[in-house]
Amino acid sequence: MGPRENPFASLELYLSSGGFVMPVLVLITIALWYAIGYRWVLLDRGTQKSVRVMLGGVDRGKKLPRRGIVPAALREGLDLSERHHKDLRERLDLAFYEHEMAIKRYSKVVSTLVGVAPLLGLLGTVIGMITTFESLGDMTLFSQSGGIAGGISTALFTTQMGLIVAVPGVIARSILDRRQRQIHLDLAQIKDLLCSEVADQAGVETT
C-alpha cells in the first residue's frame, strides 16, 4: 500500500489547475453559502399551520409557536390589535416593515453570486483556450505558462467549478424565494384578518 495522499495537496493542485479564476470562485462559494445559510435560518416559518388556523387557536386559548417569523409577526399583530383599533392597518404596516425587509435580506446577493459563478467559469474557459491556441502555435505541450495541457486543464476545471457553484445555488435560491413569497403572503393575511376582526368587533359594539 502506497503512502497516503495529502488532501490539501490535492486541493491545491485542483485550484492551481484552474488558474487565477479558481480562488475567486472559491471565495464566491463561501460567500454564496453563507448568504444561503443565513436566509435558510431567517425564512424559517416556524410552523406548517396557516395563519387562519394559528389565529383560531389563539381564540381558543392555544399558544403560538415560539420560533419562526410568522408566529412572531402574529404575536406582534395581536398585541397591536388589542391596544389600537382606529389606525390598526397603519400601525401593522409600520410594525411589519422590519419583517418585510428582513425576509429580503441577502436575496440580491444570492442571485448575483449565482449569476456570476458560471460567467467566471466561462472566463476561465476562454483564458484556457487562448493559452491552448498560443501553445499550439509554438507546439509547446508543457511550459511555464501552462502550455497545451495547462490551457485545456484551465478551460475544463473552471467550467466545472463554475457549474458546481451555480447549479446548487440556483436550486437553493428557488426554494428560498418560494419561502419568502409565502411569508410575504402570510404577513399580508395577518393584517387582513386582524383588521377584519377589529372591524367586526366595532360593528357589534355599535349595534
Which residue ranges in the chain fall short of pLDDT 50? Answer: 1-3, 141-145
Q: Are 169 and 131 in contact (CB under 8 A)?
A: no
- Residue span of the structural domain in which 136 resides: 24-41+51-200
Task: Say if 4 falls within a structural domain.
Answer: no
Q: For 15-57, how does the pLDDT look when each residue is reduced to its tens digit (9 = 90+)?
A: 566 667 888 888 999 999 999 999 999 998 888 888 888 888 7
pLDDT at 184: 94
Dist. CA 18–CA 165, nearest whole Å: 14
Q: What is the pTM of this model?
A: 0.76
pLDDT in tens, 128-137: 777 666 666 6
pLDDT of residue 62: 77
**Structural domain count, the chain:** 1
Cα–Cα distance between 48 and 54 in angstroms, integer? 10
* Residue 127 included in any domain: yes
Residue 205 lies in a domain: no
* Cα–Cα dist 93/200, whole Å: 20
**Ordered DSSP codes for the chain:** -PPPPPHHHHHHHHHHHTTTHHHHHHHHHHHHHHHHHHHHHHT--S-SS-HHHHHHHHHTTPPPPSSSHHHHHHHHHHHHHHH-STTHHHHHHHHHHHHHHHTTTTHHHHHHHHHHHHHHHHHHHHHHHHHHHHHHHHT-SS-TT-HHHHHHHHHHHHHHHHHHHHHHHHHHHHHHHHHHHHHHHHHHHHHHHHHHHHHHHHHHHH-
Residue 10 lies in a domain: no
Is residue 9 a part of any domain in this protein? no
